[in-house]
Amino acid sequence: MKKIICSFAFLGFLTVAQAQEATVADSTSHWKSKGEVSLLFNQSNFSNWTAGGENNLSGNFLLNFGLEYAKDDWTWDNKLMASYGLVKTKNASFEKKTDDRLELNSILGKKATGKWSYSAFLNFRTQITKGYIYGKDDNGAEIRTENTDFLSPGYLTFGPGMLYKKDANLKINIAPATSKLTFVDDFYTSQNGYVDGSYFGVDANKSMRYEFGFYGSVYYKLNIMANVSAENILNLYSNYLEETKNVDVDYSLNIVMKINRYLSTNLSFQAIYDDNAFRGLQTRQVFGVGVNYGF
């Protein structure tokens, strides 16, 4: 069922992309779209290497698509980001993920004054495939335990606020009355699944957690030098209902160093602090040479 849903979502995305491509020639269109697909590759191979090492091969897929609408005092900015990566090492029993992310951001704005607009935003985040915790059995063989999946967890955050938009490269949204829903499959919170009593903040035998609080987001993109750009995305959330001082932080940095139209060196870094998921700082870094296609 999940594969069917993903397939329909992908087909819907292609339909939107094609529709937008068809309207590019129409100078009266209020829609603008821009997207890029990247494939990153990394390989290490050793033979009689006395310093040690293990043969490995990894690949990452990245999708970044933006769709914008502007007419009179209204704007509607949408951004879809997806990434997925695997690594295979010679002596490992399983392929392991190096990246897994699916995120949609949408902000509707109605001009208030100057560069400020009244806004309504929506943010959705989840992962694409199952996630595992790896370990060893009594014989030293590698084993894995399923820990996460598509929509387990899934986060839906939305609310009214104020949007400051200097230009396409600098946007700040402040939403002091934001609802946040955390979805999980109750398998992980039941006796047959996750038995710790709390799974990403969702209580035992439940499948959803509701929070109400303050949300702030910043998008800032700059050109460091010729053919080198850095995209910064920062999301902050504080729950009014409990532990207000515990601010959830999600920061992403994407640096692209273009070699030519189709080749680039890409660096992606993400840092997350969310004590409902893990009481500590989570970090992720992906670096490699990419093959890019813009549309």
- d(CA 115, CA 255) in angstroms, rounded, equals 27
The pLDDT value given to residue 22:
40
33 touches 69 (CB < 8 A): no
Residue 219 parent element (H or E): strand 208-225
**Residue 16 above 50 pLDDT?**
no
**Residue 191 above 80 pLDDT?**
no
Looking at residues 204-229, what average pLDDT do you find? 95
Amino acid at the residue 203: D
The pLDDT value given to residue 194:
53
**Tokens found for residue 262:** 């189709």
Cβ count near 279 (within 10 Å):
9
Closest CA to 196 of 129, 260, 278, 123: 278
- d(CA 8, CA 223) in angstroms, rounded, equals 36
The pLDDT value given to residue 250:
96
Mean pLDDT of the chain: 86
Query: Domains in the chain, ordered, with CATH?
Result: 2-294 (2.40.230)
pLDDT in tens, 50-59: 667 778 888 9
The pLDDT value given to residue 260:
92
Q: Which of the two residues, 28 and 99, has the higher pLDDT score?
A: 99
**Beta-ladder partners of 222:** 230
The pLDDT value given to residue 14:
43
Q: Which of the two residues, 194 and 206, has the higher pLDDT score?
A: 206
User: What's the CA angle centered on 83, arms 150 and 230, to 5 degrees?
Assistant: 140
Taking the mean position of all CA atoms in its chain, how far away is CA 2? 19
Quick one: pLDDT band at residue 287, thresholds 50, 70, 90? confident
Alpha-carbon Rg for the chain, nearest whole angstrom, is: 21
Residue 106 parent element (H or E): strand 96-113
The pLDDT value given to residue 50:
65
Looking at residues 32-40, what average pLDDT do you find? 92
Looking at residues 19-36, what average pLDDT do you find? 65
**Residue 6 above 60 pLDDT?**
no
Quick one: pLDDT band at residue 7, thresholds 50, 70, 90? very low
pLDDT in tens, 71-119: 999 999 999 999 999 999 888 889 999 899 999 999 999 999 999 999 9
**Residue 23 above 70 pLDDT?**
no
pTM > 0.95: yes or no:
no
Q: Long-range contacts made by residues 81-86, C-beta under 8 angstroms, separation at least 24?
A: 81/105, 82/128, 83/268, 83/286, 84/60, 84/128, 84/129, 85/40, 85/58, 85/59, 85/60, 85/61, 85/286, 86/58, 86/59
**Residue 197 above 60 pLDDT?**
no
pLDDT in tens, 144-153: 999 999 999 9
Cis check: omega of the bond before 153, within 30 degrees of 0: yes
**Residue 13 above 70 pLDDT?**
no
Q: Give the Å distances, CA to CA, from 101 to 76, 149, 150, 270, 274.
A: 23, 11, 10, 11, 16
Whole-angstrom distance between the N-terminal and C-terminal Cα of the chain? Answer: 30
The pLDDT value given to residue 134:
92
Q: Which of the two residues, 145 and 7, has the higher pLDDT score?
A: 145
Lowest mean pLDDT among 216-225, 227-236, 278-287: 278-287
DSSP string across 33-101: EEEEEEEEEEEE--SS-TT----EEEEEEEEEEEEEEEETTEEEEEEEEEEEEEEEETT-SS-EEEEEE
pLDDT in tens, 120-179: 999 999 999 999 999 999 888 899 999 999 999 999 999 999 999 999 899 999 999 999
Handedness of CA 276, 94, 289, 80 (dihedral sign): negative
Q: Which residues contact 48 (CB under 8 A, 6 or more apart)?
A: none
